[in-house]
Chains A and B, each alone.
Chain A
């Protein structure tokens, strides 16, 4: 491993990731038990007798001391068993994995929007520094950052789905029909990703301005290389690095925005699953889905760090 600093770095990050997930789960476990509310009573509704509520509490393991519940959950996780969703009797992992792809698709769509629009806008603003294009991009960027994603979601829905009827308003599309699923993804992913267009445009502009003044770019100009090649092949390659970090961190923000998008567009997804299960005090589902979400977030950040390392020799040299 001494010969392969990137592998050592990856292993370090992996250990750190496990620690982060463990701490997050401990905090989550403590938090959900501080929230008032009896999951058995909420689940069974007004017609249940106290005996039935008690019986469900026993089945859910809620009659056990908290440390026993905690240990059961933790030991289960390491065996790949997130428990059973008591009401439907389905494994929590199955329920979570059914929803996860919808959220991953939503976030991938949002990242696509933010990269596809944010990077060109940032580049153009940097190249046209001080001009009207730069000013317009600046204003638009700040505006889309400032507007909450649920507001964007509602307006997008009203304009493109209700008024124009160009795009569907609700759902995730016909299962097995990729085209229909992509159509259903356009508005929600735009709602989640539009704010990030602004962030990325600002970030790329600032980085580009810095890089365009760097000595190796001046040297390239002195050699008479075409300006487009200098901008997009040399400057952007360096300027884009902070964007990768930003997106890594941004996935967490997008996951929370996904909750709104999933509610507004009535999409299935893990954000909505967490939200619903908190409301119904469905503890196994809350812990299971948050565990998977946390793991996903940490994983994305590890990948982002490794990608930066792969792209930037300066970072790579620091691995050892």
Chain B
């Protein structure tokens, strides 16, 4: 009996506790801590795994590293792609092959690793560039010859050849984060999820896996301070969850789902500001030219004419995004004004009839993501309209990203695909994946043009913006002429932030944590 009584009492206690907790919630509504400029809560779409600039796996890791490791330069927040100095007093291109730098004299590393020196710059840059280290970012320094140390704070970066992306997608990126040579060597050359010797505006003080990362102001940072005492970075993969978290007051800044932008703009959450930022990413319908029936150029051309890109993009992105004319976004050299082969279903039917292709059945592989599925369904309807039956095959990310690989067994069955690549603000980033060496790697359409490859190589060393513009326009013309591509959109990035926060954002909406300020 005593035992029974004990159980009843426990249950009652439990109910009472639950009630008390609920009441606590009633009287403690959530507060947007950013209002007092102390704590900023931002969402990242993935948790960190590696805090090594040479081996970073995701953009959110890069965002954190920019804040905790002072780089030579970083992007300027705003609507124009530009750079500003971080750890340098001066950074100057002396000639096509030489960049001179002089470090600020009050940049120090934590954990007793002393002042940042030119030797650290040499170590950090050459560590990325050295092929023996197998950094996936070695290409950012493809043109590096060596870094010459002049004195404690000064040095020269020598290039083997002119390198156009240097000031856009190399120097201001996480690739140019400067690490302490002594600290990395002490760590055995490898950096995991715990940072080594931090030097930025903020220092990472806590990482609770899958839950949050906390950055606090670096007390030893002698220059423009970060805007908040503390930044909490909360990994939330699903943008819809993040939007709800924002509406519930648990976040101060998040990216939104593209499909939510219209709704949020019409009815923004209380105290929330919705921004639309042009994305650099590009989405396209790819056509594998080595697989029947698309080994026939006229069938490929028919598909190009069959797709109503306006409808595809309108349906998939709820009117928030616009159609694209190529793989290079507006604002970058090489952006085209129009496509060569637009929507013309009559022309598509004509081409199909001329080829005797009356009963075609094809497959379209996509990533299992809502925007992609909607786009695929409109493509399917467009193809049906010209007499082509299209089966949509959805793939999870692990499967999708290997479909066109020459090492797999599907590349010779892959027919149509909706692809999406993100990129840095230099056109060479867009063309790099479509050269012949990339066939079966990332060039799944198996588009094979030496002329295109030559133009890509030319664009890498051409520093005259007008000439680069021509080069990349011509390169995209060749892509479209091949019949392998239907360019869909560059998408758009939705940003939701508290009106008490002035977010530091790159022109494409990616966060620059060091530039977030309280209003």
B-contacting residues of A (Cβ < 8 Å)? 35-39, 41-52, 55, 87-90, 95, 98-99, 112, 116, 157-158, 160-162, 165-172, 175, 179, 182-183, 186, 232-233, 237, 263-266, 268-269, 272-273, 276, 278-281
Contacts and interface: CB of A to CB of B under 8 A. Distances in A.
Given A50-B441, A88-B50, A281-B398, 12 more contacts: A37-B399, A42-B398, A89-B190, A162-B244, A162-B248, A166-B29, A169-B245, A169-B247, A170-B248, A183-B25, A263-B241, A280-B397
8 contacts: A37-B396, A37-B401, A46-B433, A51-B134, A52-B134, A165-B30, A172-B211, A272-B210
A279 B208 contact: no
A88 B248 contact: no
A33 to B, nearest CB: 13
B399 A88 contact: no
Interface in B437-473: 441-442
A45 B441 contact: no
Q: Which secondary structure characterizes the binding site on chain B?
A: loop
A99 B210 contact: yes
A278 B137 CA distance: 26
Interface in B189-243: 190, 192-193, 208-212, 234-238, 241-242
Contacts of A44: 57, 136
A279 B18 CA distance: 36
B401 A116 contact: no
Contacts of A171: 211-212, 234, 250
Contacts of A48: 136
Nearest to A264: B241
Given A90-B193, A165-B249, A268 B399 contact: no
Nearest to A165: B29
Contact of A273 (B26, B49, B210, B399): B210
B402 A38 contact: yes
Contacts of A88: 49-50, 192-193
A233 B244 CA distance: 45
A117 to B, nearest CB: 9
Given A55-B134, A272-B210, A166 B26 contact: yes
Contacts of A95: 209
B251 A170 contact: yes
B22 A41 contact: no
B394 to A, nearest CB: 13
A280 B398 contact: yes
B250 A168 contact: yes
Interface centre among A182, A266, A280 (most CB of B within 10 A): A266
Closest 8 A/B residue pairs (Cβ): A169-B248, A268-B210, A37-B398, A170-B245, A166-B25, A161-B248, A47-B136, A266-B236
A105 to B, nearest CB: 13
Nearest to A275: B237
B136 A52 contact: yes
A265 B241 contact: yes
B1 A233 contact: yes
A59 B212 CA distance: 29
Given A47-B137, A88-B49, A36 B399 contact: yes
Interface stretch (B114-122, B345-353, B370-378, B403-411): B403-411
Contact of A232 (B8, B22, B208): B8
Given A36-B408, A37-B399, A41-B402, A268 B209 contact: yes
Interface string B344-374: 0000000000000000000000000000000
A175 B399 CA distance: 36
B186 interface: no
Contacts of B236: 170, 266
B18 A116 contact: yes
Interface-central residue, A35, A39, A41, A276, by most chain B CB under 10 Å: A41
B94 interface: no
Given A88-B49, A99-B210, A273-B210, A116 B398 contact: no
B80 interface: no
Contacts of B24: 179, 183
A263 B212 CA distance: 15
Nearest to A280: B398
A266 B57 contact: no
Given A46-B433, A233-B4, A168 B248 contact: yes
Contacts of B136: 44-45, 47-49, 52
Contacts of A264: 238, 241
Interface string B384-422: 000000000000111101100101101000000000010
A188 to B, nearest CB: 12
Contacts of A265: 241
A112 B136 CA distance: 49
B84 interface: no
Contacts of B4: 232-233, 237
A157 B240 CA distance: 12
Contacts of A39: 398
Contacts of B397: 42, 279-280
Scoring B11, B18, B22, B210 by chain A CB atoms within 10 A of each residue's CB, the highest score goes to: B210
A233 B249 CA distance: 46
Contact of B25 (A87, A167, A273): A167
Contacts of B210: 98-99, 268-269, 272-273
A278 B398 contact: yes
A38 B193 contact: no
B50 A87 contact: yes
B292 interface: no
Contacts of B249: 165, 169
B15 interface: yes
Contacts of B11: 116
Contacts of B241: 170, 263-266
Contacts of A168: 30, 248, 250
Nearest to B235: A266
Contacts of A45: 57, 136
Given A50-B441, A183-B24, A232-B4, A90 B192 contact: yes
A89 B134 CA distance: 16
Contacts of A51: 134
